[in-house]
Structure 1
């Protein structure tokens, strides 16, 4: 970063909110790349002015919230300026009776949940990194968790957004009512973009009543086929679980340890059902699960601390902290085909090390993890299985040294030309997240 840009950034955010000391900037390193400076704007307008100044200098910009999802994407090709959103905090509009809340992007999810909880409401998200993640970071990374089955993904909860663009403009998309159909739905453009089109500064969500109480139905079954049969039976039933997971033996033992449970038998798969809400509804789920599980396997019902710890571990399964130095792949496809992808992943050579598999069986998503030595084999297995099922596979976690050798984003999707044209419109100088996106998009 040039001295001119550093001086301009200091003018915009103030000297106390610009960091250019190399030692202090180590905390903002992304995949081994240390930025030249970090600026912390207090308003959307300051963020937009920063981006415009960076564009004039051709400086590479990396948006950042709490840093919970910086492991996603490729290694940055350059990192001249980190735009940190942690001064953009607080709720800007909230009427509990409307079940809608507007909040600045640097607000931590846990702080938002605490305020909503005072009114027996919540934003039904349980993404990886939720103890530290900001709402803007969760949107930009499109992070979801096990409860996606009942409540839907974050893209269905965001109904309005405010963004600082690299052109120096601040735009709004969507609104503060759930049924907003005016114009193009630009909100979706920024969800999962990793900041490629601009820095999210505020978001409006539709929220839900808090279910308060929950229980886990924990069923161990002999093998993958039995787990698939049981999850299929659950999805065909009248039950409405908040989450439905299938775990292979290695992942199941990890979850059991997290919950303080006795370790399952060697080779056993697990099916985990989360039921939340009224006592009558939970009792019905437990009763129906006893019938569905039948002779398929052994069933336990968890509540209290063990129940909470189990689902916290399930939510954090894809995190790099859960698999330090390892590889995590995410595969998606038809709901009924998760077991086919799992079979491919488990068929890897034994020399590659153990593979842990956790499937969000009700939504057709699967996470597979192993050590770095088996990384390429795991990625190829997941890609082959997902392709055969009509789905996709991407790499979510990998050591920086391996990232350039792996197909992080999977096979090229349709519509790449349109994506490139959109990026050129929103970021004409190409300064945002250089090197982070796949298929030459950044």
Structure 2
């Protein structure tokens, strides 16, 4: 029995039989191990590699429904107890943190130094920094913050054979050689287990406001012209997110298209940018300005609008799916229009960044309704020259579709890297593109 075998390298209290609470989403393990040191992580991987055991990696569990064609592996490696700050240099504005640390815990610690990590993931109290980096997650504030790839300056990784490597460094000005960090960020834990992450920081803003601009009619050219004028100006919104009527109603009470425009800076600069917005308002639009406390509450609610694989454990009658879509900036308008069309047959909430073109749609309905809507959306996005990735879907339905979309022409390079790093394919088996 594998539980008996693995207790030879881990204390028995760190090995638990999986209760199979997450059958709906898959990505389970016959047993779950809870290492507390990098050495224990390495020993578990080495054991699995030498004994032909498959390993799935889990942080906070929010992304359990993201990818994965295997319902249960031999071992589930939990990073829940591998937490804490390793090194923080406030003067250099860098921090090194263990991968199992939740994003909220990290931000709460940094707030004492008036600093923060410039990322905005969903469910921050559950999401671990390791999971965020492994999936390259970002939110609406990507416009001003950038993605995970822009925040990471160094990684410690444990390879499947138990060896530990370091990529990047611990200082911002680290430009020598190939940026190996980018190889691991977004690889969904298929190349190694993220042990530690070194991130560059930014100061907490002195002031923040959120402008909500709602349009009582369908999306008009005036709205498009407003966005172009704003993006072509010297203003610096950290978010310029278009909300579909359904999600706008949930968050703002307004059942209409809305723009969420976020500004972060010193108070005088924020107010100056607010006045600029007022000076270019489209005719017929409805303006609301939320001060800092209300803006923070809005974003807290926003980051909880998607399903959470850590708490959505029991099978339910309604099937949920989350799609990540990438299109050209102004094609976001077309994506939101498709949401309105589909709203007649399925529950759908959508939002998209008008400065970066990334959209997220949450669908709810029966299995057939959800799968039909996904197929329709994928065709629309393909016609626009974009891509669609399924970020959340029950395990049974992931068997019936290609979560990552079409296999790209460069897939042989990804496959070659996987074969070189993990020849026995023990890590997150079939979790990533092309069944890697």
TM value normalised by structure 1: 0.90
In structure 1, the residue matched to 2:205 is: 211
Deviates more, 1:302-311 or 1:143-152: 302-311
In structure 2, the residue matched to 1:270 is: 258
In structure 1, the residue matched to 2:156 is: 162
In structure 1, the residue matched to 2:279 is: 291
Give yes or no for contact 2:346–2:365 (8 Å, CA) kept in 1. Answer: no
Deviates more, 1:127-136 or 1:298-307: 298-307
Instruction: Classify 1:365/1:107 alpha carbon distance in 2 versus 1 (closer, same or farther; 3 Å).
Output: same
- Once the two structures are TM-superposed, the CA of residue 204 in structure 1 deviates from its matched residue by 0.3
Matched residues in 2 for 1:72 and 1:244: separation?
Answer: 26
Instruction: Classify 1:229/1:272 alpha carbon distance in 2 versus 1 (closer, same or farther; 3 Å).
Output: same
Instruction: Classify 1:163/1:346 alpha carbon distance in 2 versus 1 (closer, same or farther; 3 Å).
Output: same
Instruction: Classify 1:154/1:141 alpha carbon distance in 2 versus 1 (closer, same or farther; 3 Å).
Output: same
Q: For residues 77-96 of structure 1, what are the structure 2 equivalents within 5 Å?
A: 77-96=71-90
Matched residues in 1 for 2:415 and 2:320: separation?
Answer: 32
Give yes or no for contact 2:55–2:76 (8 Å, CA) kept in 1. Answer: yes
Give yes or no for contact 1:217–1:301 (8 Å, CA) kept in 2. Answer: yes
Name which of 391, 395, 411 aligns with 1:396. 391
Matched residues in 1 for 2:354 and 2:53: separation?
Answer: 43
TM value normalised by structure 2: 0.92
- Once the two structures are TM-superposed, the CA of residue 30 in structure 1 deviates from its matched residue by 7.1
In structure 2, the residue matched to 1:186 is: 180
Matched residues in 2 for 1:385 and 1:163: separation?
Answer: 39
Instruction: Classify 1:100/1:66 alpha carbon distance in 2 versus 1 (closer, same or farther; 3 Å).
Output: same
Give yes or no for contact 1:108–1:135 (8 Å, CA) kept in 2. Answer: yes
- Once the two structures are TM-superposed, the CA of residue 401 in structure 1 deviates from its matched residue by 2.5
Q: For residues 358-397 of structure 1, what are the structure 2 equivalents within 5 Å?
A: 358-373=351-366, 374-397=369-392
**What SS is found at the alignment partner of 1:272?**
strand
In structure 1, the residue matched to 2:251 is: 255
Tell which has more relative contact order, 1 or 2 (C-alpha 8 A, sep 6+).
Answer: 2
**What SS is found at the alignment partner of 2:87?**
strand
Instruction: Classify 1:33/1:99 alpha carbon distance in 2 versus 1 (closer, same or farther; 3 Å).
Output: closer
Give yes or no for contact 1:109–1:132 (8 Å, CA) kept in 2. Answer: yes
In structure 2, the residue matched to 1:7 is: 4
- Once the two structures are TM-superposed, the CA of residue 70 in structure 1 deviates from its matched residue by 1.5
Runs (5+) with no aligned partner, structure 1: 257-262
In structure 2, the residue matched to 1:282 is: 270
Give yes or no for contact 2:100–2:129 (8 Å, CA) kept in 1. Answer: yes
- Once the two structures are TM-superposed, the CA of residue 400 in structure 1 deviates from its matched residue by 2.5
- Once the two structures are TM-superposed, the CA of residue 62 in structure 1 deviates from its matched residue by 0.6
Instruction: Classify 1:168/1:316 alpha carbon distance in 2 versus 1 (closer, same or farther; 3 Å).
Output: same
**What SS is found at the alignment partner of 1:97?**
coil
In structure 1, the residue matched to 2:315 is: none
Give yes or no for contact 1:164–1:199 (8 Å, CA) kept in 2. Answer: yes
In structure 1, the residue matched to 2:61 is: 67
Deviates more, 1:219-228 or 1:240-249: 219-228
1:26-70 C-alpha deviation (Å, 9 max, x unpaired): 356672464211111222222122111112222110111111222
Q: Does 1:240 align with 2:228?
A: no
Name which of 15, 25, 45 aligns with 1:18. 15
Q: How many residue pairs were aligned?
A: 426
Q: Does 1:137 align with 2:134?
A: no
**What SS is found at the alignment partner of 2:29?**
coil
Matched residues in 2 for 1:354 and 1:244: separation?
Answer: 24
Deviates more, 1:323-332 or 1:148-157: 323-332
1:278-332 C-alpha deviation (Å, 9 max, x unpaired): 1111101210111122414010111254322211233333434799732221110
**What SS is found at the alignment partner of 2:280?**
helix
In structure 1, the residue matched to 2:348 is: 355
**What SS is found at the alignment partner of 1:11?**
coil
Deviates more, 1:403-412 or 1:203-212: 403-412
Matched residues in 1 for 2:113 and 2:293: separation?
Answer: 23
In structure 1, the residue matched to 2:430 is: 435
**What SS is found at the alignment partner of 1:288?**
helix
- Once the two structures are TM-superposed, the CA of residue 124 in structure 1 deviates from its matched residue by 1.6
Runs (5+) with no aligned partner, structure 2: 313-317
Matched residues in 2 for 1:157 and 1:34: separation?
Answer: 30
Q: For residues 17-56 of structure 1, what are the structure 2 equivalents within 5 Å?
A: 17-20=14-17, 22=18, 25-27=19-21, 31-32=25-26, 34-56=28-50
Give yes or no for contact 1:318–1:367 (8 Å, CA) kept in 2. Answer: no
